Amino acid sequence: MKRQRKKTGPSPQLVFTDSIKSKEHNYVQTDIDMSLHAMEDGSYFIKVKSANWKKTRHVELSRDHLNLHISHQSCGKSKYSIVDIKKISEVRIGHQSPIWLSLGRHLPKVEQCFSLVIEGRESPLNFVAMTKESAELWTRGLQHLSANLENLDIKGKQLLWVWDCFKTADKDRNGKLTSKEIKRLLAKLNFDAREEYVERLLKETDDSGDNCLSFDEFSDFFKKISWRPEIERIYKTYCDADLKLQAKELARFLHHDQGMSDVSDETAISLVQSFEPDEKLRSSNVMSIYGFMYCFVVTTR
């Protein structure tokens, strides 16, 4: 009589509770706008750090599509961390990160796994989605967002820089800036503008009349307080044939036109790194008209 071989089940997988599954949307839409909308609603994942560290996390895309909010419960309180999408350098689909190899027989299904490589972090963020469709939705959406941010033109990156300023100043996260918050931001950026001039611009750009500025209103305010025709003329005097300002020419402008005797090329490079919104130009130590506008306001007080 043949001995029957004992049946063995499949390799153990990460277990997802029914309560979590019930909250997970089974998104299959191919339209990217629908995908981004679904990402705003958020999804549950298992965040994996090691074979012994696997935690449930809720991840959602911010309404401005610039950040991921990763939340969890700790001691009965909800806590969350923020991942800047601009800092996502790579979206790895499947088992492309070293962590997955360490899980052995507990390795999750490849189609449900992905990893995010973040600038400034030693190791990637590793996630297991509840379904294959959810993993595809998030990896597709994140790749789309990263590509869009990378391909922004200078004007788009300038607007993104203004948005970052707005978020920094919006301490109570209500989507509006008070006069006090705006003046505090201007001081932080070293904008040296007269009190009455700032107040006049605040009134001019407060279209809603609620004594606060929304982002659109703040963007208009910021443009008016920093953009001056005479600065554009100066910029064109010193920039090259491609209308880009080299760091050495910026140093020459500060020395000859502004009387700053101790300005070195290193100082000019530092200013480019501080004020230029375009990452590619920053890496080449070149300043656009937008970076020059901000730099001019700050350094020529």
pLDDT digits (tens, 9 = 90+) for 33-67: 888 889 999 999 999 999 889 999 999 998 878 88
| pLDDT reported for residue 29 | 38
User: Can you list the pairs that 146-150 forms with residues at least 24 positions away whose Cβ atoms lie under 8 Å?
Assistant: 146/85, 146/88, 146/91, 149/66, 149/85, 149/86
The stretch 210-232 carries a mean pLDDT of 84
Q: Does the pLDDT of residue 81 top 70, yes or no?
A: yes
Q: Does the pLDDT of residue 92 top 90, yes or no?
A: yes
Question: Which residues, other chains included, contact 179 with Cβ-Cβ below 8 Å and sequence gap of 6+?
Answer: 199, 202, 211
Cα 85 to Cα 27, 91, 154: the distances in Å are 21, 11, 18
Q: Does the pLDDT of residue 99 top 50, yes or no?
A: yes
Domains in the chain: ranges and CATH = 18-150 (2.30.29.30), 154-226 (1.10.238.10), 229-299 (1.10.238.10)
Confidence of residue 109 (pLDDT cuts 50, 70, 90): very high
Question: Which residues, other chains included, contact 221 with Cβ-Cβ below 8 Å and sequence gap of 6+?
Answer: 182, 201, 202, 204, 205, 213
| pLDDT reported for residue 49 | 93
Q: How far apart are the first and last CA of the chain?
A: 97
The stretch 23-37 carries a mean pLDDT of 61
**250: helix, strand or coil:** helix
Confidence of residue 130 (pLDDT cuts 50, 70, 90): very high
Is residue 267 within 8 Å of 255, Cβ to Cβ? no
Highest mean pLDDT among 199-213, 244-258, 261-275: 199-213
Is residue 215 within 8 Å of 205, Cβ to Cβ? no
Q: Among the listed ranges 57-66, 212-221, 257-266, which one has the minimum average pLDDT value?
A: 257-266
Q: Does the pLDDT of residue 70 top 80, yes or no?
A: yes
Q: Among the listed ranges 7-21, 100-114, 236-250, 255-269, which one has the minimum average pLDDT value?
A: 7-21
Confidence of residue 23 (pLDDT cuts 50, 70, 90): very low
Cα 216 to Cα 159, 176, 206: the distances in Å are 10, 10, 10
| pLDDT reported for residue 171 | 83
- Write the pLDDT tens digit of every residue in 165-200: 888 888 887 889 999 999 988 887 766 678 888 899
| pLDDT reported for residue 56 | 94
- The two tokens of residue 242 are 């491609």
- Average pLDDT over the chain, rounded to an integer: 81
Q: Does the pLDDT of residue 284 top 60, yes or no?
A: yes
Report the sign of the C-alpha dihedral through residues 132, 32, 44, 47, in that order: positive
Entry field: residues in the chain = 301
The stretch 225-238 carries a mean pLDDT of 81
Task: Work out the percent of the chain whose per-residue pLDDT is above 90.
Answer: 32
pTM above 0.75, yes or no: no
